[in-house]
Structure 1
Amino acid sequence: MEKGLCIGSMAVAGLLLLVFLLDLLLGFPFSRAGGSGFSSPYSLVDICGILGSGILGYLAFNAYQDVK
């Protein structure tokens, strides 16, 4: 059960990282009205989301190594 939770957490972190990177670089799916890239008004939210998903991925991987 613990391995499944760790793998699920890594999958969620990867999905969130992908979504926030797409939003920051292309303006898809969230920042259509504000433009894309760092000129978007939501770029700070995207950067914080990328950092948060990276931290979640690291913690999930570290926990998976402990359970293994």
Structure 2
Amino acid sequence: METPKVLCYAAMIVAGLVCLIFLLDAAAGILGRNVPLDILFILGGAFILWQGFETSRELR
């Protein structure tokens, strides 16, 4: 695989993990009950996932 593809997929994996962790935190309150911060992290991770998906389509 080429380096841009590896970096794109790695960023998508990390963004997916961020979304998952903060979604679970918003539901269970493990890291504290700061819901607006959880929502902002989920939106940020979702945006990076969307950008990664679009970039991976262009790299094909």
Same fold, judged at TM 0.5 (above): yes
1:56 match? 48
2:4 match? 2
Aligned length: 58
Q: Percent identity?
A: 34
Distance (whole Å) between structure 1 residues aligned to residue 50 and residue 56 of structure 2: 10
Q: Which runs of 5+ in 1 are unaligned?
A: 32-39
Distance (whole Å) between structure 1 residues aligned to residue 15 and residue 53 of structure 2: 10
Once superposed, what is the RMSD of the aligned Cα atoms?
Answer: 0.7
User: Residues 26-41 of structure 1 correspond to what in structure 2 (within 5 A)?
Assistant: 26-28=28-30, 30-31=31-32, 40=33
1:65 match? 57
Distance (whole Å) between structure 2 residues aligned to residue 5 and residue 64 of structure 1: 10
Give the letter for the 2:17 counterpart. Answer: L
Q: Which runs of 5+ in 2 are unaligned?
A: none
1:27 deviates by 1.0
More helix by share: 2
